[in-house]
Structure 1
Amino acid sequence: MKVRIKYSKTGPLKFISHLDVMRYFQKAIRRAELDIKYSTGMSPHQIISFAAPMPLMMESVGEYCDAEFESVTTSDDIIERFNNVGSPFIKMIDIVELPDDAINSMAAVTASDYLVTLTDKGIAFYKNHFQLDDSEILEKVSQAIEDLKGEDSINVLKKTKKSEVVTDIKPLIYDMNFRDNGIYMLLATGSHENIKPENVLTALCDKFGTEYDRFMYNVLRLETYFGDKKTGFKPLSEAGNRF
């Protein structure tokens, strides 16, 4: 049985790597005595794969992984058993059964949305640097968003492990606005087209005449999606059904 798991990663666990998250799931699944399927061969391993893993320093309430189980009980029972044996900062939120022809989450993901807010360090910096109070900071951020959206192109330096290239990221920003005292952004995510919130924040900092500092912003991933702009984006969990 193929399943898709939605989970959150919050609090201090934003400082652990994706490899650590993978190890956590393997151990938590064993502790919860879930009947996951193992590969065959000399070195059997749990059949589980993750979609669009987050970089360090980011929290999320919309992470996903796919797995295969030999047998299952119910969605509610599996969620409860997993959460009872693990950390309060990694929680299984949902689990659905996938059809046999479902595209795996890593290949299916096309977009993610985020809410970015200022840390205490960020608030202090903008207050001191621009001599602004709290409400004026929020107004300045809101205006910078509108200014950036009005640009014909948004060129930033994208860095990978192998190269650095200047890229126009505007076509990859599907939505961006000021919301809940923060910056909401819906961005292209996946193997074909992909940008990170830090790319957008770098462009916004250019508007402010400052440099991007990752410790000045809290980044929360809200959801991970499949689909496209024409047909609409849907959460990855909607590819399956609860059981």
Structure 2
Amino acid sequence: MKVRIKFSKKGIMKFIGHLDMMRYFQKAFRRSGIDISYSQGFSPHQLISFAAPLGVGLTSRGEYMDIMMGTGTNSRKMAELLNAQMVEGVEILSCRQIEDETKHSNAMAILAAADYEVFFKDPDFFDRDMEMSFRAFMGQSHIPTVRKTKKGQREIDLKNLIYKWDIKDGHIFMRLATGSVDNLKPEFVIETFLQSLGKNAELSALDICRLEMYAKAEDGSFISLEDLGKDIP
């Protein structure tokens, strides 16, 4: 049985990197007594896969991992067992069954977008004039820029990778392309915007929270990875 687990990561845990989080969950699964499945061969490992690594320094209210299980338990009990092993800053939000053979069975493969909330720690920096400049920047029909890749530099149009955006109470909301094909980070959008104004800001000047992650439905709409599963009775 495949189970998709949604969890949050906040507080001091935002400084823990992806590989350390993987090791942390491996230990938590063993301590919880959940019947997680292992790979075959000389060096068996737990069958866990994460939808997308979260950058160090970012918090999240919508992280996902898929696990394979032998005998299962109901969603509520599984969350309770895992939360009993969690440290402060990590909370299991839901555990939902995914049909193994469906096209929705691999969170990493189907991931298409993610929601982010961004705000500047210094509210005076993102003042009324800066907000108006950001609205003008995002309102362009094209936002050409250059992004560094492992193979060099590549010209991209940010406009094609930003699906939604808004500003409310000084917070910037963005739904961005996310996944193995197109992956746009919110800090890159902010960096590109500030460069257009001749300004700079370090990542430490921002608070960024990932709110949710989505797959793309057949009609082109976005559906959260959580909603692709069902509660285990």
Q: How high is the TM-score relative to the length of structure 1?
A: 0.89
> How far apart are residue 2 of structure 1 and its match?
0.6
> How far apart are residue 153 of structure 1 and its match?
1.9
In structure 2, the partner of 1:80 is: 80
Structure-2 separation of matches of 1:87 and 1:150 = 42
In structure 2, relative to structure 1, the CA distance for the partners of 1:140 and 1:71 (3 Å cut) is farther
Tell me, which stretches of 5 or more residues in structure 2 are unaligned?
Answer: none
Deviations 1:11-36 (A, max 9, x none): 11111111011101100111111110
1:174 aligns with 2:163: yes
AA in 1 matched with 2:90: I
Matched residue of 2:200: which SS? coil
Matched residue of 2:21: which SS? helix
In structure 1, the partner of 2:91 is: 91
> How far apart are residue 162 of structure 1 and its match?
4.3
Matched residue of 1:110: which SS? strand
In structure 1, the partner of 2:139 is: 150
CA RMSD between the two structures: 1.7
In structure 1, the partner of 2:66 is: 66
Deviations 1:3-60 (A, max 9, x none): 1010111111111111011101100111111110011110010001001111111110
Tell me, which stretches of 5 or more residues in structure 1 are unaligned?
Answer: 127-136
> How far apart are residue 76 of structure 1 and its match?
0.7
In structure 2, relative to structure 1, the CA distance for the partners of 1:211 and 1:19 (3 Å cut) is same
1:199 aligns with 2:204: no
Matched residue of 2:179: which SS? coil
Structure-2 separation of matches of 1:140 and 1:107 = 40
1:105 equivalent among 101, 104, 107: 107
1:164 equivalent among 124, 147, 153: 153
Structure-2 separation of matches of 1:157 and 1:233 = 27
Does the 8 Å contact 2:123/2:170 carry over to 1?
A: no
Structure-2 separation of matches of 1:235 and 1:177 = 19
> How far apart are residue 198 of structure 1 and its match?
1.2
Structure-1 separation of matches of 2:68 and 2:150 = 31
> How far apart are residue 188 of structure 1 and its match?
0.3
1:27 aligns with 2:16: no
Aligned residue pairs, count = 230
Identity of aligned residues (%): 38
Deviations 1:53-101 (A, max 9, x none): 1111111010101110011111111111111112121111101001122
Tell me which stretches of 4 or more aligned residues in structure 1 moved more than 3 Å.
Answer: none
Does the 8 Å contact 2:116/2:175 carry over to 1?
A: yes
Structure-2 separation of matches of 1:74 and 1:228 = 27
Does the 8 Å contact 1:47/1:67 carry over to 2?
A: yes
Q: How high is the TM-score relative to the length of structure 2?
A: 0.92
